Structure 1
Amino acid sequence: MSDITLGRYLFERLNQVKVQTIFGLPGDFNLSLLDKIYEVDGLRWAGNANELNAAYAADGYSRVKGLSAIITTFGVGELSALNGIAGSYAEHVGVLHIVGVPSISSQAKQLLLHHTLGNGDFTVFHRMSQNISQTTAFIKDINSAPAEIDRCIREAYIFQRPVYLALPANLVDDLVSTDLLKTPIDLSLKANDEEAENEVVQTVLELVAKAENPVILVDACASRHSVKEETKALIDATQFPTFVTPMGKGAVDEQHPRFGGVYVGTLSKPDVKAQVENADLVLSVGALLSDFNTGSFSYSYKTKNIVEFHSDHIKIRNATFPGVQFHSVLKKLNEQIGPIVKDYKPYPVPKVSLTTAPTAPETPLTQEWLWTRISSWLREGDVVITETGTSAFGIVQSRFPTNTTGISQVLWGSIGYSVGAALGAVAAAEEVDREKRVLLFVGDGSLQLTVQEISTMIRWGLTPYIFVLNNAGYTIERLIHGEKASYNDVQPWDHLSLLKTFGAKDYESIRVSTTGEFDKLANDEAFSKNSKIRLVEIMLPVMDAPLNLVKQAQITAATNASK
């Protein structure tokens, strides 16, 4: 074909950058566009239960594959997705948000169409999205449309932020040249200013040469902006003790002999806290210093020798180098750092116990026991998704196997996020490796916000493990305020009937209440094989929580009450 429709052009471009599952919902302004998905081999239309879930799913998919796409309809659909889109913006996740909008002629005539505010303003929702988008495009001209589509895909990928793309219903069937597809979208980073980059590298090398107790601290953006390999090379070259933040879990191989654990300020284990805070040089990679990621801003370095490597700037002590990206800086630093650290003598890093204390089989499950035991059940390549609440705090005390991906929404913290994200992650994992396990840990309260997306998992034969931590309501909220308040209660559900209710045929639903029951499950080879969708209800005491969450809740409660 010499020409293809604009709609097909969009999906061919997404397919070229390995986005193979498209999330979203149909609406009359995007229906013609959705027809074009089925014209591109290898693409799947997920068909979500609602737009918020679709946005969460796109976020989870992108965290596994590096980019995702969601399609909503004008007004009612796109607004429903914006909470999820805002979370992707806050946490540096590349999502292309495609919105089917009314035809150009309808806009020009300011028709009083459904899904509008009734005032003839067809750009109002576009303007709402601008503050939570890296860039936006509202297509009006078929001649410039392909270039705008390419620009949007590139910026979503390069900057790892959502991008808003509005496509009028009448343009998706207009034709563009097929030849445009022969030139791949340029996804390469622009080169750093050489003089500024060299100054950064030399200054860091000088700091390293003088340091006696340096540490490396790795955070979320090391994963989001794809410098995990460069970070590993830095650890290998220097042998400096290395730590991650809660958001950084999965960014470093936790089986590496120089990995020391998770640093969360005052909420850290004492030996981790002491080693990080007594360092005379901190090399920080990809920091996102939010309250829950830092123990309510309780980082307490005793040195001013801090180097922050970011995707779009470098900060050394009080000096900032805008526009200097950490990809090539880290590569150049790794090439030159060997002679500087040749006399460095590595000292021991903190160790974590992965063995649970012996208990009688009938011992009731607790959070402390559970998260330690989970470490020995995880296996290489797993994708671990934890919900805001006890799960996100509990997973901190686990130790990941090599090549494990951790997904949590520590900064944005939208309750219910993890269920939609699990759908996206398991769809992406299936495209990468059908044997890869996706494990969701979600509280019974959070599950009720987004439970419908389990039906989408079943629809596509996806096989996640869904661990429902049943502690009778919103325990994280109870810890902060209102321990016995009814607003922290939820209606009890029959969790073991959920998979059947949503139409699953080959599934497993299990309830465990004791350490013996959990051990039996974890030791079952058949259960550990990624062969079917499973829901495991884990019964826990109402106010039982990981110790770091208890401490964080006390800090948060005090902060909320302060005048």
Structure 2
Amino acid sequence: MSKDIRTQSLTKPVTVAEYLFKRLHQIGIRSVHGLPGDFNLVALDYLPKAGLQWVGSVNELNAAYAADGYARTKGISALLTTFGVGELSAMNGVAGAYSEHVPIVHIVGCPSTISQRNGMFLHHTLGNGDFHVFANMGAQIACESAKLVKPTEIADQIDHAIRECWIRSLPVYIWLPTDMVEKKIEGQRLDTPIDFTEPKNDAAREDYVVDVVLKYLHAAKNPVILVDACAIRHRVLDEVRDLVKKTSLPVYVTPMGKGAVDETSPTYGGVYAGLGSHPDVAARVEGSDLVLSIGSMKSDFNTAGFSYRTSQLNTIDFHSNYCVVRYSEYPNVRMKGVLRKVVERVDLSTMSRGVPINGVVNEVTKNKDDSKAITQAYFWPRIGEYFQPGDFVVTETGTANFGIWESKFPSQVTGITQVLWGSIGWSVGAAQGVALGVKDMGKDNRTILFVGDGSFQLTCQEVSTMIRHNLRVTIFLIYNEGFTIERFIHGMEAEYNDIKKWKYTDVPATFGATDKEVKTFVVKTKDELEKLLLDKDFNERKGLQFVELWMPKDDAPRGLKITTEISAKNNARTEE
């Protein structure tokens, strides 16, 4: 009777699953990644009722990687796994999203509150009656955890978790017991969208920081702008674009910031990564008397082994929730508001435009030797000329992440990398998520994946999901006989860096692709590569394409060689 009374008191009763999934649809999610398990099956029935597509990856790790790629493309994503075995398999992918500021709503179907209260000896548990151990693990890689166990609080919990996911650009963890899935809660609040308005800075504090920034900017003789990953994750690219356009200052990106600015701009200067930079890029950035650093993430691989030679005395750092001007930190002053006012108030009549730059080009001729082999030095500038405006370019941890530094992007190209977390195999799942995100936006832009043969072997099954959803993906598999980045760190000829050669171009057919659904190519020489890249059908084809690209085993991009040498030295350090 009490249950009926509670239901009757609701204005627009909806089930918990309906509420949750409709919220996901309202914020722009159209596809949900994950795998079925008995603790989430009933919830899955409600996805189509909310207008959501179930993706169904081949395993939870790949699903998490794909959710990461989807979020980087569409802004936010959802991942649905089952208790214990499922969520733990996904945890590596979610941890990567946490480290790199990627917003994923991770929903875990778990045993009923009754089963938990009675301490039942259930499958997928540790057999010790502790049903919270996995949620406690998940909480370490989530900015908010919501256990949906009290119907009167569930709507608030869902809305708060989703808002935190968006505002903080980090994963959240939502625990959904089986007996809560169909509980009725108030649905009237679905008529009001979740407020995604970012917290505003205190006006006086913001104005003070803006004044300090402008003071140094107006006084600088040779200022530059350096754009990093958090400028992308925390959605300040419009402010960055307007700042570059208005000031005409030289602008550089870090490896993690690749694609954050228009590389066809006459003031774009290239990729800055400390000692890994081209000498002229390093000289210009490190010779600047003021670096406007936007959204920096100064990890070892993003800085070529912490090899920046810039001074904090000449740096202003803009971050998602604080700013640092030289050595003075201003907490709770978000960069978005500060950058917008800097753009509005900068006085161009008193500001130096810095040293003119020569512009960036794809140096194909300079790096083309007389051999037939496709070298790293030749390939990456050449592939830069293959790219088209609007491409989504996914690069795997390792060779591709470093090689792409040498490619100049056309306008509106989105670069997607995982430099900080660096989980080998991430890119295959991520590319599936990227391509699906593109499709869900109603676009048919190309998704282009560059992945090494070693990395591909970890997560190749996600090609099956690409085929299943008829996604437009071109895969360049770099066949160079193993884990190249590991070879250059340690063990160039070591057996543990070797892999078994597969018949790579047979993989799509093995996963069910027909000749109409996939085109495969084996490319071993520069001439064969040139012919392929100029082929009209290859450039315009809508479906899956798979290119096995042969490169020398002992070759690597310039930036990788420099960074791994520094990394090896750091690994060998001992306490004196």
TM range (shorter): over 0.9
Pairing 1:103–2:112 present: yes
**Cα separation, 2, equivalents of 1:195 and 1:304:** 24
Q: Which residue of 339, 356, 372 corresponds with 1:348?
A: 356
Partner of residue 549, structure 2:
538
State the distance in 2 between where 1:303 and 1:553 align.
Answer: 25
Q: Residue 253 of structure 2 corresponds to which residue in structure 1?
A: 244
Question: Mapping of 1:407-486 within 5 angstroms?
Answer: 407-486=416-495
Whether 1:176 and 2:185 are equivalent positions in the alignment is: yes
Contact 2:475–2:545 (8 Å) recurs in 1? yes
Say if 1:13 and 1:181, in contact at 8 Å, map to a contact too: yes
Which residue number in structure 2 is paired with residue 163 of structure 1? 172
- 1:288-303 map, 5 Å: 288-302=297-311
Identical-residue share of aligned pairs (%): 47
Which of 19, 36, 45 is the matching residue for 1:9?
A: 19
Which of 487, 506, 522 is residue 511 of structure 1 equivalent to?
Answer: 522
Deviates more, 1:245-254 or 1:171-180: 171-180
**Equivalences for 1:95-244 in 2 at 5 Å?**
95-244=104-253
Counterparts of 1:345 and 1:109 in 2: how far apart (Å)?
Answer: 70
Question: How far apart are 1:274 and its partner, in Å?
Answer: 0.4
Residues of 1 paired with 2:394 and 2:185: CA distance? Answer: 41
Q: Tell me: CA distance 1:147–1:364, structure 2 relative to 1, closer, same or farther (3 Å).
A: same
Q: TM-score, normalised by structure 2?
A: 0.95
Shift in Å at residue 434 of structure 1?
Answer: 2.9
Secondary structure of the 1:537 match is strand
Name the residue aligned to 1:557. Answer: 568
**What TM-score comes out, normalization by structure 1 length?**
0.98
Q: Is the 8 A contact 2:227 2:252 kept in 1?
A: yes
- Provide closer, same or farther for how the CA distance between residues 558 and 3 of structure 1 changes in structure 2, counting only shifts above 3 A: same
The aligned counterpart of 2:5 is none
Q: Relative to structure 2, which stretch is displaced further, 523-532 or 374-383? A: 523-532
Aligned-partner SS, 1:189: coil
Q: Given the superposition, is the C-alpha separation of residues 460 and 273 from structure 1 closer, same or farther in structure 2, using an over 3 Å criterion? A: same
Matched, 1:307 2:316: yes
Code of the residue aligned with 1:172 in structure 2: it is V
Corresponding residue of 1:59: 68
Q: What residue in structure 2 maps to residue 405 of structure 1?
A: 414
Displacement of 1:236 after TM fit?
1.2
For the 8 Å contact 2:444–2:472, the answer to whether it is kept is no
Decide which of 374, 390, 401 is 2:383's aligned counterpart: 374
RMSD after superposition: 1.4
Does the 8 Å CA contact 1:215/1:281 hold for their aligned counterparts? yes
Residues 136 and 343 (structure 1), Cα distance of their counterparts in 2 relative to 1, 3 Å cut: closer
Asked whether the equivalents of residues 218 and 352 of structure 2 are also in contact (C-alpha less than 8 Å), the reply is no
Distance change in 2, residues 1:121/1:377 (3 Å): same
Matched, 1:547 2:558: yes
Separation in structure 1 between the aligned mates of residue 139 and residue 342 of structure 2, nearest angstrom: 36
Question: How much has 1:356 moved relative to structure 2?
Answer: 1.6
Structure 1 residue ranges (4+ consecutive) displaced by more than 3 angstroms after TM superposition: 340-343, 350-353, 358-362
Distance 1:342 1:551, change over 3 A: same
| 3-state secondary structure, aligned to 1:79 | helix
Partner of 1:311, secondary structure, is: coil
- Sort the Cα spacing of 1:467 and 1:62 in 2 relative to 1 into closer, same or farther, 3 A: same
Number of the residue aligned with 1:258: 267
Encode CA deviations 1:122-164: one digit per residue, 9 max, x unaligned: 1111111122111101111111111111111111111010100
* Paired residue secondary structure (1:143): helix
Mapped partners of 1:25, 1:8: distance in 2:
19
* 1:77 alignment counterpart: 86
**Structure 1 position 38 matched with structure 2 position 48:** yes
Contact 2:224–2:291 (Cα < 8 Å) also in 1: yes
Following superposition, the deviation at residue 341 of structure 1 comes to 4.8
Aligned equivalent of 2:7: none
Residue 263 of structure 1, CA deviation:
0.3
| Superimposed CA distance per residue, residues 36-93 of structure 1 (whole angstroms, 9 cap, x where no aligned partner) | 002122x210101111111100100000111000001111111111111111010000
Could you say what secondary structure the match of 1:8 adopts? helix
- Conserved 8 A contact 1:232-1:252: yes
| Structure 1 spans left out of the alignment, 5+ residues | none
Letter matched to residue 261 of structure 2: V
CA drift at 1:106: 0.5
1:340-378 CA-to-partner distances (Å, cap 9, x unmatched) read: 555534532143332422869971111111101011110
Question: Which residue of 307, 315, 326 corresponds with 2:335?
Answer: 326
Q: Indicate if the aligned counterparts of 1:103 and 1:168 stay in contact, CA closer than 8 A.
A: yes
Contact 1:287-1:308 at 8 Å conserved across structures: yes
Paired with 1:375 and 1:550, the residues of 2 have a C-alpha distance of: 21
